Structure 1
Amino acid sequence: MVFRPRDLASRMAERRRPHDGYLRETFTLPRDAARARARDFLNRYPKEAYMSAVESWRELPGGDIEFTMRRLASAD
């Protein structure tokens, strides 16, 4: 069986995606817009019902903030 670099990249990408039942959204916004977006996300999907959280964030060289929000798929 011949493996191509694309096959390896696909397998590595699958490993990075956690299969834990959470939905994740990643945003890249200026600092003030990032705060507002995170606040809106947490208001729309409250932590008590969806276990919502800012999973990770970082400041990019241009000053923008890249962050990932996570929440459960449903609150049943």
Structure 2
Amino acid sequence: MAANLPRPPLNGLRKQLEAGRTRKQRLPRDGFIRETFTLPRHDAREKAREWFTMFPKAAYWTEIESWCERPDDVIEFTMRRLPTAD
């Protein structure tokens, strides 16, 4: 009996999915640029230093937003900064 039921229209769902894709491409509402890295501990430290050198904390509000240790001494972390130093 279930095989005879009509299929519901999927246009609304399709529009929601497309709108979600477009939103992800824009900056978040808070205006920060974020980038997530998964690197061995030594390389993670170097990458964080690189960000703080390129985007000084005082001008760009650069910070390590979150981090966690993964197996095999790997660090996953998210850096954030403002797009400009205005």
- Which TM-score bucket, shorter chain as reference? 0.7 to 0.9
Identity score, percent: 51
Consecutive aligned runs of 4 or more in structure 1 exceeding 6 Å deviation: none
For 1:37, the aligned partner's letter is: K
Bigger Rg over Cα: 2
CA offsets per residue over residues 14-37 of structure 1, 9 Å max, x none?
5xx842000001111100110111
Aligned-residue RMSD, C-alpha: 2.4
Q: For 2:58 and 2:46, how far apart are their aligned partners in 1? A: 20
- Give 5+ residue unaligned stretches, structure 2: 1-8
> What's the TM-score, normalizing by structure 2?
0.68
> What's the TM-score, normalizing by structure 1?
0.76
Number of equivalences: 70
Mapping of residues 19-58 of structure 1, within 5 Å? 19-58=29-68
Q: For 1:19 and 1:59, how far apart are their aligned partners in 2? A: 28
CA offsets per residue over residues 19-56 of structure 1, 9 Å max, x none?
20000011111001101110111011001100000000
